[in-house]
Amino acid sequence: MACLPAAPPALGLRRWLGLGFFMLLCLSLGYALEKKVVKTKVGEKVGLPCCHEIPSSESLHNYRVYWQKNTTKVVLAYAQGEMIFKHKQYENRTEMDIRNLTLWISPVEILDNGSYQCVVQQLRTLQNSFVVCDEPVTLFVTADFSKPNVTTEVSAKSCESTEMVVRCSSHGGFPRPKISGFLNNKSVVWNASWVSESSLSLYNVTGKLWLNVTKDVSFTCSVEYNGFAKSTSLLLQKTSNCIVPTVPPSYNVITASSIIIISFLLAITLAARYLPRRVCSYCSKHQDSVEEGVKECTKPPMSSKVSSETSSL
Ligand SMILES: *[C@@H]1O[C@H](CO)[C@@H](O)[C@H](O)[C@H]1NC(C)=O
Ligand SMILES: *[C@@H]1O[C@H](CO)[C@@H](O)[C@H](O)[C@H]1NC(C)=O
Ligand SMILES: *[C@@H]1O[C@H](CO)[C@@H](O)[C@H](O)[C@H]1NC(C)=O
Ligand SMILES: *[C@@H]1O[C@H](CO)[C@@H](O)[C@H](O)[C@H]1NC(C)=O
Ligand SMILES: *[C@@H]1O[C@H](CO)[C@@H](O)[C@H](O)[C@H]1NC(C)=O
Ligand SMILES: *[C@@H]1O[C@H](CO)[C@@H](O)[C@H](O)[C@H]1NC(C)=O
Ligand SMILES: *[C@@H]1O[C@H](CO)[C@@H](O)[C@H](O)[C@H]1NC(C)=O
Ligand SMILES: *[C@@H]1O[C@H](CO)[C@@H](O)[C@H](O)[C@H]1NC(C)=O
Ligand SMILES: *[C@@H]1O[C@H](CO)[C@@H](O)[C@H](O)[C@H]1NC(C)=O
């Protein structure tokens, strides 16, 4: 579409040849337009490529180079090998490579976002100059949002469900973000969400949601901007306190359970006292068994042992 007016009208038998050339032109143009997109983040250093590289046999003296933004604002201008203009907004932040004419910006600011253009003119004589190339470069600037802060506030709870207000907020990013929410990976619609823009053109985003949680669910809040995303997940718990729904858990339960525990402990103690005697009938054979056990049971088993020995003899 963009290259239609530039294409010469195809005539007669040369139609196909012309079409081929036209397609090639379009392809290369499309490729160039597609390729000249630069993405960067606030505070970083970025290089915007130009469309021409000055061969080592020549020098910048024979050229005029203009870097402009949005075709209206001149960022930087070179003529006869010297910088003749630099926009105040780019002062101390920009440099141009004198060979490949790359425009370096460091540190990048949000206002640098936009479409740039590199225009190169070659001087043949003092009166005669021609445009070598003229190409746009798009600079996409992004600033990272903070990791979303998700907070919950229980507004009401019953045995079946917990009603809560979920809030998600993230700040200090660029460009304008989109906020989304997921309940067990299922997309949810925020009851309310808003974006505020500060004087620095950084955005803050907040979302608010009312939920009726009937079982534990995982919740994710995601903030998306310019192909990037920051998200936070957490488990929303149904804060249930209805273990025994019919009988209210009273002292009866506690006393009943303590009686059970006490009698169990009692049984163990009794068993512990009774058990050594039973063990003795076996331990008598082993001379070096536990001292206490041996002491307690030396008398009765000895006789039995003797009797058994005598009987066997
Ligand atoms: C231009 O040259 C610089 C080094 O001088 C290099 O880092 C940069 O990648 C070059 N850019 C292009 C588009 O060739
Ligand atoms: C670029 O220029 C056009 C018209 O010249 C204007 O409508 C647009 O707002 C400008 N964009 C920026 C980012 O300055
Ligand atoms: C650029 O740097 C010079 C010298 O370091 C300083 O005097 C000037 O104020 C700076 N300009 C801007 C716009 O920061
Ligand atoms: C950044 O610049 C690009 C290219 O001009 C434009 O499409 C985009 O809308 C700009 N982004 C913002 C947030 O202004
Ligand atoms: C998250 O938000 C809560 C309530 O606004 C605040 O108290 C807390 O400090 C925030 N946490 C972080 C990490 O920003
Ligand atoms: C949600 O999706 C992620 C990755 O897509 C997966 O690892 C996770 O198990 C999913 N969780 C649930 C509850 O489906
Ligand atoms: C919030 O969403 C719930 C359901 O998700 C809906 O019942 C309620 O009316 C909504 N409230 C507002 C203010 O949009
Ligand atoms: C965005 O959030 C930051 C940090 O919480 C705060 O300092 C700033 O004032 C907020 N900006 C706007 C426009 O709300
Ligand atoms: C929340 O869910 C429970 C159980 O499904 C229901 O009884 C209750 O009315 C719901 N509350 C709201 C505010 O929708």
Ligand 6 centroid–CA 185 distance in Å is 6
Q: Which residue bears the tokens 């804060």?
A: 239
Is residue 210 within 8 Å of 165, Cβ to Cβ?
Answer: yes
**Which atom of ligand 2 is nearest the CA belonging to 115?**
13
Q: Which CATH architecture has domain 35-142?
A: Sandwich (2.60)
Question: Which listed ligand is nearest to 116 at the C-alpha?
Answer: 4
**Which atom of ligand 3 is nearest the CA belonging to 92?**
1
Query: What is 149-236's CATH topology?
Result: Immunoglobulin-like (2.60.40)
Note the pLDDT tens digit of each residue in 51-73.
999 999 988 999 999 999 988 89
Q: Is the CB of 218 under 6 A from ligand 6?
A: yes
pTM of the model: 0.64
Q: Is the CB of 226 under 6 A from ligand 4?
A: no
- Among protein residues, the one with the nearest Cα to ligand 3's atom 4 is 92
Rounded-to-integer distance, Cα 124 and Cα 30, Å: 30
- Among protein residues, the one with the nearest Cα to ligand 9's atom 10 is 212
Name the residue of 183, 188, 210 to mutate for ligand 7: max ligand atoms within 8 A of Cβ: 210
Query: Could you tell me the residue ranges of all domains in the chain?
Result: 35-142, 149-236
- Please name which of 209, 210, 214 lies closest in space to residue 157, comparing C-alpha atoms: 214
CB neighbour list of residue 7: distance below 8 Å, 6 or more residues apart = 18, 22, 25, 26
Note the pLDDT tens digit of each residue in 231-271.
999 999 887 667 654 544 566 666 667 756 657 677 767 67
Query: Does the pLDDT value for residue 201 go beyond 60?
Result: yes
- Among protein residues, the one with the nearest Cα to ligand 8's atom 9 is 198
Report residues whose beta carbon is within 6 angstroms of any ligand 2 atom. Answer: 70, 72, 114
**Which atom of ligand 8 is nearest the CA belonging to 197?**
13
Name the residue of 185, 188, 218 to mutate for ligand 6: max ligand atoms within 8 A of Cβ: 185
Question: Looking at residues 12-29, what average pLDDT do you find?
Answer: 41
Q: What is the pLDDT of residue 239?
A: 76
Same fold for the pair 35-142 and 149-236: yes
